[in-house]
Structure 1
């Protein structure tokens, strides 16, 4: 009997340790990029993953250039250097280089970004640049719509039509012209989903369009991500109820302003986002992280576990 009691006690102790490990909110996975970077746009081209972030670390977000990072496995990231320097490469903006996005079309890479609260576009032959300004002015100037003209997200649908989602304060959707460097601002669709603040992002899965965005302010520890769905890239969108897609927990604060990537040839998805730097971070000192993104059988996005570690991912190209 004593041996049985001891065995039961041991099993209970092991179970307790296991439960403690799965609910440990004091030891978050390390960021994927060294230093402070925010607003990561993750993408995949050919056999590599890329992250295009905001350079963080200055009060008021005064960064002046953009970098690119690449990886073959989502774990090990190489700094590809500065791909766009505002004072050097632009004539119309010098600072506040924020929240870029990228799209591939016409055998070119089109890079959309915020600069001095305008949205610009740059073009390159490679995903690592160098990128050049093809129009010499903002693509979407400040004041085009209510709120700030920031946080662009480029989405190319299966039919080849490209869209730009952007805006702080309200969400805006614009159809990009075939040349990818122009659009008709008079046809921009503007709306404000419940809770919307900034950072829109679009994905398409099994015929459903998922519009995701950040809620609260990026300096607020409650910063988080919600989403809505539609059968059209232009909406109307129905907000999902229940838990946010992503929010902080424990030592993880201010988790938001994300992007999502699908591993080619699979239904495996990953979400890149920033959180307050651990330790002692805030809304001006944020770090970039990646977590798995899961869907349930109904196609709903399950809440992201910000403590779930990612494993190396190898892209298998079709021959």
Structure 2
């Protein structure tokens, strides 16, 4: 079994498109767990989606993620009469716990502007209404729950003033608990130099208050929040290194009197930049960049934050697949040190290995979406949304296209020809002339293209036909012992980057879904196993996402009874007849009842019984 399979990037299943990840460590069922609250890229052709999901993992094992399903839905906002426009969606969320109220609070915002006309939103001037930017409707809201996995209910529109047309985007909230048990709560929001913060009431968790009087500060005429109670974050150009705010605000307290502000800057929207301060109110001193996607990946936005689990620090961020509307969550270990008033976070690179600091086991099978380096027009076709999570590498149609994986570990001993090394691919040959040249380089030299060593050149037509289908094929990698260039770097062993160089004949060459190195005929240690839904189920339906899974992967089951029926039982068994534990997710008003289970290393069958509603 591949122990570090789920250490890879992206670290959630290939069917999960959860960008804008905001990580938090909460206690749940007696253990500390890391929760990821993010957007849900489900609309494919525009940002985000109709709801928010949450995933979690034990803080001492960040490879074991559970899909808790949907926790909030756009229809909960429409029920209040706000934002009722076509394809309205929910943007980047945040979630915090208030130890005083003992409640969890979810913050999110509406991505599309709307009018206060009595149709798209309440009629302007009617009782208890709040206006947004220049007469549009407000977009930021809060909901509450007793649990970090929801459901989040009782949404409230936040009276947080907007200072640009993009409104109160990307809300972030910090609950600053003091040694005496009291808390002060701060909200941060904005976009495109509209960065703002304010202190909010810790009892209702949304009303902006005066920092001195602790009372709401209202404009006498409008009876809405006075703009004098709201402040700009990056308000000292020299101290901020002349960095300006684009979006993705996130503020974390890392120790008493030590705060970090993470954001996407106008200078580099594809990177996560940070500043630090002795106070959640600033002033903020520029620190640097934590991760920068644009160095090895197509330019796109970025959003995420940092967290500490079991004494170690990490950054969560996202990368694009097909475009900005199809993004997946990534993670990297980081170093965070405090030097007096200074907080130092050295920049890390985007990797395939994620949490596997010594590299992913080269002799396991991986989704091609683990690639973290690309040239020309090649891309992961995330827009296909294949229900097995295997969205292919496409767009290989230009001269010398290169994709890369950082990093694989080939073991302590050098691989030799006696090992009968082969590269197994799940691939489609598009052009009969398609060739792949494999290149490797030690981690220390990864940024030196001239130090890449050719491992083999694979002619795809030796094993494949241009039939428009994907095939599992195994290409022998020979001549290792006599490869002088490879021997000069110590052989094929240890942690190395793998690059694939594709030949060019003026048109698309091939498409890839999976890759795996193997020795001889050894079986794949971590194959995808099928989730079979019993065809004999009546009076309702059960769907699985994904429909295939690796051992240990979280599978979500959604249940829809026919009218007049309800679910009585749902059972998952592996092919040996063993019962698999099935866990219910939180019940929400607008989402089918759903469950999760951990995939065993066997095919499973799902059965369910529906009975007449009592």
TM-score by length of 2: 0.42
1:109 deviation in Å? 0.3
Decide whether aligned partners of structure 1 residues 183 and 107 sit closer, same or farther in structure 2, where only a CA change above 3 A counts.
Answer: same
Instruction: Report 1:102-141 matches (<5 A).
Output: 102-105=95-98, 106-116=101-111, 118-135=139-156, 138-140=157-159
72-81 or 84-93, which moves further after superposition? Answer: 84-93
Structure ID, larger Rg = 2
1:205 deviation in Å? 2.7
Contact between 1:253 and 1:275, CA under 8 Å: does it hold in 2?
A: no
Contact between 1:86 and 1:93, CA under 8 Å: does it hold in 2?
A: no
Consecutive aligned runs of 4 or more in structure 1 exceeding 4 Å deviation? none
**What residue number does 1:272 align with?**
316
Decide whether aligned partners of structure 1 residues 309 and 236 sit closer, same or farther in structure 2, where only a CA change above 3 A counts.
Answer: same
1:253 deviation in Å? 5.1
Contact between 2:143 and 2:152, CA under 8 Å: does it hold in 1?
A: yes
1:254 deviation in Å? 3.6
Decide whether aligned partners of structure 1 residues 201 and 305 sit closer, same or farther in structure 2, where only a CA change above 3 A counts.
Answer: same
**What residue number does 1:292 align with?**
333
The unaligned stretches of length 5 or more in structure 2 are 1-6, 113-138, 210-224, 235-239, 358-614
**Secondary structure of the structure 1 residue equivalent to 2:272:** strand
Decide whether aligned partners of structure 1 residues 251 and 190 sit closer, same or farther in structure 2, where only a CA change above 3 A counts.
Answer: closer
Q: Are 2:285 and 1:238 equivalent residues in the alignment?
A: yes
**What residue number does 2:34 align with?**
49
1:195 deviation in Å? 3.0
1:292 deviation in Å? 1.0
TM-score by length of 1: 0.77
176-185 or 155-164, which moves further after superposition? Answer: 176-185
**What residue number does 1:261 align with?**
307
1:45 deviation in Å? 0.8
CA distance, structure 2, for counterparts of residue 255 and residue 292 of structure 1: 21
Decide whether aligned partners of structure 1 residues 250 and 235 sit closer, same or farther in structure 2, where only a CA change above 3 A counts.
Answer: same
1:183 deviation in Å? 2.0
CA distance, structure 1, for counterparts of residue 48 and residue 335 of structure 2: 35
Contact between 1:89 and 1:132, CA under 8 Å: does it hold in 2?
A: no
**Larger RCO (alpha carbons 8 Å, 6+ apart):** 1
CA distance, structure 1, for counterparts of residue 158 and residue 303 of structure 2: 22
59-68 or 208-217, which moves further after superposition? Answer: 208-217
Decide whether aligned partners of structure 1 residues 140 and 260 sit closer, same or farther in structure 2, where only a CA change above 3 A counts.
Answer: farther
Match for residue 264 of structure 2 among 214, 217, 223: 214
**What residue number does 2:253 align with?**
204
**What residue number does 1:98 align with?**
91
**What residue number does 1:164 align with?**
187
CA distance, structure 2, for counterparts of residue 240 and residue 166 of structure 1: 20
Match for residue 306 of structure 1 among 340, 350, 355: 350
**Secondary structure of the structure 2 residue equivalent to 1:168:** coil
Match for residue 169 of structure 2 among 145, 150, 158: 150
**What residue number does 1:175 align with?**
199
The unaligned stretches of length 5 or more in structure 1 are 1-27, 313-319
**Secondary structure of the structure 1 residue equivalent to 2:325:** coil
CA distance, structure 2, for counterparts of residue 151 and residue 145 of structure 1: 14
1:145-180: per-residue Cα shift (whole Å, max 9, x none)? 234211011111132111111111221111110221
Contact between 1:32 and 1:76, CA under 8 Å: does it hold in 2?
A: no
